[in-house]
Amino acid sequence: MTSLPEPTRPSPAPRILVVEDECFVRMVAVDMLEDAGLPVAEAPDADTALQLLEGRAQAFDALFTDIDMPGSMDGLTLAARVRARWPHIRLVVTSGRLRPNPDALPDAGFLPKPYCRSDLLGALGQAAA
């Protein structure tokens, strides 16, 4: 008797954490990602993002963060902390004002604002873990 092959299960969609202090900009980014079928969590600042990651970091595959945010740290500092603690998380930083030196990015992609959905999806797809 021949056994049937195991059914293949689709791999889960990557879960993305969007960190943006401007509410409207955050809503647009979240909508872009959800419209592409990706599960998304959101945070208004780096401190809230770190709280979400604590104990649940394995639930996230990517971090998309603005650079210029209020609070105890900016997006570059957040990205560096995430890279150091959770190296499996892909990183993309964005800004409409700053153009960071590539050496300042902790193995993160950079996406300038304004961006469109295809640019955002492309940047997340190209980000190295």
Instruction: Tell whether omega for the bond before 114 is within 30 degrees of 0, i.e. cis.
Output: yes
pLDDT in tens, 5-43: 555 545 566 699 999 999 999 999 999 999 999 999 999
Q: How confident is the model at residue 102 (pLDDT cuts 50, 70, 90)?
A: confident
pTM: 0.87
Sign of the alpha-carbon dihedral angle for 33, 102, 85, 95: negative
Tell me: domain 16-126, CATH 3.40.140.80, correct?
A: no
Sheet of strand 109-112, all strands in order from the earlier edge strand to the far edge? 40-43, 16-19, 62-66, 90-95, 109-112
The residues, ordered by sequence, that sit 6+ positions from 25 with a Cβ below 8 Å of its Cβ are 66, 113
